[in-house]
Structure 1
């Protein structure tokens, strides 16, 4: 039995995925410890896994400035104290708790979230065998593959979707981001996150050739280092993946504990689901992004779209940051929730309306639910939505354009065309095939058998 350490950011989506990862690897006979720089230990331990909390990582390592300085004074202070401030920033970013954890556990393999650069550099410096863990579709620039933060679909949309248009957009992004990185380094005199991380990489002997400028997420991606991506290749746009990128399929922790929920009218979600099953009405689940407060205008139009269709029921998950009073008076077939037990509802739902979050998309595929994606237009949501549309497992629409009539027509299109459900079920089979073939378990077993040098210095 090998000892494995899985380290992620601890945010909700990746946390649930890491629970599925840990469950699979535990079933394969390995000892697994989960760690994150967030206080999610109670959640992890409720599921029966061992957890180690690490210190929170600030995105700004720069030391604070003395009070009372004006704009010119702050610039002058940063310049005069630049060497000392760089040392202080580097000290702040040295992940000593992570290093101590690795030295204490002595894991045979560490799987590190691709966003946790501090831990990646430290693991390399310790000579630890490790691989990167990604929750995203491909981040790497490959011929014909659009930048993940756009809704461009190859071969569609005229010039935008042409190979030349895709390449030109990558170049624009590259220039913009490089200028942004340089400006941050100049203004901070080398105490910005990217500069400090580069200093940490040098300190740990991390090969500069392994570091690739990244345009999202974070400041770097990596060449050569092995990566497990918890996505299905079948949901990608056609392209040749970057060497060392291993698709192991979505990690959906179907066994996770989900509390019951209460609607805005004081009804239990479980009771409403039971009534819904007997009613014969179509159940629509709409969940807004956990990273934003939602879009009140869009949600009001969605409610209006559902209000005229008596054979539709809408469960509306608003998260903890949106006031349901902003929606006004609701029709009887619309139920709002601060929290929705998403997997429980998806198992009964006929349609998911979502913002394009990758983990919600994967849970829809797991439950065989077609999607209507109104992208939140944040981070990778446009790119995920474009893939849903391209593969026909859902429909991509624009929350800033569609009125209530257009929303209702889009809902009807997905609900009434059986091809969407058929394609979702076919994609679900493709996703399940990764688990059936034990793609994850075999890849980890292969790395465990390889010398450390061969894994981290291919």
Structure 2
């Protein structure tokens, strides 16, 4: 079977899929990726064929969609017009046959599509290609037991907390009318290839041009990010990490997806005989308002704790210039995270799901400092399960960070919870189950005619 994997254009969305893709290849299936040219080298380094779409790279790479061009001084309306024209050209490629041709060039028998990429799923279904969604986050729809993943709320513990959670969902959707729908029209917010998954109006436009009239709660739901098609779906996260509560029947949770054979270079230092504190905001640090505060707190904490060795990953090329390595502080623009975590005592992280799962696998206690997106919800789940402590980035300083690191180092209960979580993940449904599910769904379109 020929399988086409289409993931959102950030590297984090791809990293979680590699072990599954390799397992599919081991079963004799051919796997090809289609996506933003910015991630082509990442995918090809793992041994997969890659089809670029759009044909040219997105200017600026990851994070560029949410950041202004700092090197060009121009009038706001002029830049807004250019961005709008670029977005219209991109959306036109979604429906004028350009995307269809790229997909068809892989001769797919099945499409595995990121839940963010409803445009790809709609086009695949219009081409009568069986389609399964994949999600690299815990976003879901209205649920009185499970709060939105963009909040730090705990799960429901009774009727009153269930009402509060329901109110949180309602309030979130009301805010989205202003922060997404109106902001998109008036300010051009989210009108870019890497951010258009927020846009309900564009979703319906693509659906209509794909011959479908999608109805809310029948064909799609509105989750914390935007439209989310109701399709058979693989969630690349163990169910054990989710809050307790009723979950949609079409979503299948599979854990143990970390690619332990991921190709990574050697570490640039000898990790032996060091108490390593690994600090990172992932690959999108430039898009977080509190990034400089985070890295400053880590750098200052290293001065007060010479007994710890800080490895600080700063992916923002502008921000990294403000920090210098010292005897017990190593500043890196990129890090072989999986290799480093094997030697790490504590990780201070933004709470990306990949990082949390890799910490669980390596039994690394966490200090989670969420910044945006699903990170507050991930942090809330990690704290609920006792495998991390949390901090707010707006209040973070070196003293507070040092206290949290010390707590994570010394907390034996946290270490025991990490062992229990790892055992739960290993005993649950894993990659082999996901492969069998994919093979079972390859017999016909995974979405009824609308």
TM-score (ref. length: structure 2): 0.82
2:276 alignment counterpart: 283
**Residues 414 and 184 (structure 1), Cα distance of their counterparts in 2 relative to 1, 3 Å cut:** closer
Say whether 1:301 aligns with 2:297: yes
Secondary structure of the 1:335 match is strand
How many pairs were matched up? 417
For residues 45-444 of structure 1, the aligned pairs below 5 Å read 45-55=44-54, 91-94=92-95, 96-155=97-156, 162-179=161-178, 183=182, 194-209=200-215, 210-212=218-220, 214-217=222-225, 219-223=226-230, 225-260=231-266, 268-269=268-269, 272-273=270-271, 277=272, 279=273, 281-293=274-286, 295-324=291-320, 326-327=322-323, 332-376=327-371, 378-434=372-428, 438-444=432-438
Secondary structure of the 1:162 match is helix
- Tell me the distance in 2 between the aligned counterparts of 1:236 and 1:347: 25
Secondary structure of the 2:142 match is coil
- Tell me the distance in 1 between the aligned counterparts of 2:105 and 2:90: 26
The CA deviation at 1:133 is: 1.0
- Tell me the distance in 2 between the aligned counterparts of 1:169 and 1:57: 38
The CA deviation at 1:291 is: 1.3
**Residues 5 and 390 (structure 1), Cα distance of their counterparts in 2 relative to 1, 3 Å cut:** same
Structure 2, gaps ≥5 residues long: 59-64, 67-74, 82-86, 192-198
Secondary structure of the 2:163 match is helix
**Residues 105 and 327 (structure 1), Cα distance of their counterparts in 2 relative to 1, 3 Å cut:** closer
- Tell me the distance in 1 between the aligned counterparts of 2:430 and 2:126: 36
2:70 alignment counterpart: none
**Residues 97 and 4 (structure 1), Cα distance of their counterparts in 2 relative to 1, 3 Å cut:** same
- Tell me the distance in 2 between the aligned counterparts of 1:240 and 1:106: 38
Structure 1, gaps ≥5 residues long: 61-68, 76-85, 262-267
**Residues 38 and 417 (structure 1), Cα distance of their counterparts in 2 relative to 1, 3 Å cut:** same
- Tell me the distance in 2 between the aligned counterparts of 1:183 and 1:101: 33
TM-score (ref. length: structure 1): 0.81
- Tell me the distance in 2 between the aligned counterparts of 1:408 and 1:200: 49
- Tell me the distance in 2 between the aligned counterparts of 1:95 and 1:255: 39
The CA deviation at 1:286 is: 0.8
- Tell me the distance in 1 between the aligned counterparts of 2:10 and 2:96: 19
- Tell me the distance in 2 between the aligned counterparts of 1:40 and 1:185: 26
CA RMSD for the aligned pairs?
3.4
2:27 alignment counterpart: 28
Query: Which structure has more RCO (C-alpha within 8 Å, separation ≥ 6)?
Result: 2
**Residues 168 and 134 (structure 1), Cα distance of their counterparts in 2 relative to 1, 3 Å cut:** same
Cα deviation 1:360-415 (Å, max 9, x = unaligned): 11211222211111112x11111111111111111111232243332222111111
Bigger mean CA offset, 303-312 vs 242-251: 303-312
The CA deviation at 1:186 is: 6.5
**Residues 184 and 283 (structure 1), Cα distance of their counterparts in 2 relative to 1, 3 Å cut:** closer
2:62 alignment counterpart: none
1:4 alignment counterpart: 3
- Tell me the distance in 1 between the aligned counterparts of 2:380 and 2:254: 21
The CA deviation at 1:19 is: 1.8
8 A contact 2:279–2:298 mirrored in 1: no
8 A contact 1:93–1:196 mirrored in 2: no
- Tell me the distance in 1 between the aligned counterparts of 2:234 and 2:13: 13
Secondary structure of the 1:237 match is coil
Which of the pair has more CA radius of gyration?
Answer: 1
- Tell me the distance in 1 between the aligned counterparts of 2:180 and 2:304: 51
The CA deviation at 1:134 is: 0.6
